[in-house]
Amino acid sequence: MNSTEPAPDFDLTVTLTEAPGGSAHVFTLVCHSGRLAESTLPDPAGAVAAVERFGERIFFPRPGPPKLCTQQYGGPQVAVVTGHFGGRSVHSRFSLTDGCEIARWRALSPLLGGIAGSTGAI
């Protein structure tokens, strides 16, 4: 996001399951005009910053060449993010099944839940 562009509005719901068959944890994050309006997340300010920085690229990826992903397993957690970001509908699934998925999760870790070694960089 260009620093001269206004922060996008978003209204997101995160449904996090820590293991198959486990109970789901549901969190919300709402931001209007760059200001936090509502959140049930442990680190709402961090989540807002991560979504503003990476949301467009992660929720609406541009087509490109296939990616080579390291074959590593980060855990059984799954997060589904639904709602709206910048006036567009969001429905994104996150997991820790390979290196590319782990990088996506780490970029939005304040929104999805931190994992060991998270740096927030992709």
Chain segment 54-111, per-residue pLDDT in tens: 999 999 999 989 889 999 999 999 999 999 999 999 999 999 999 999 999 999 999 9
Class of domain 10-112: alpha beta
- Mean pLDDT, the chain, as a whole number? 88
**Who's near 90: CB < 8 A, 6+ residues apart?**
10, 12, 59, 81, 82, 83, 84
pLDDT at 122: 38
Q: How many whole angstroms separate alpha carbon 71 and alpha carbon 11?
A: 33
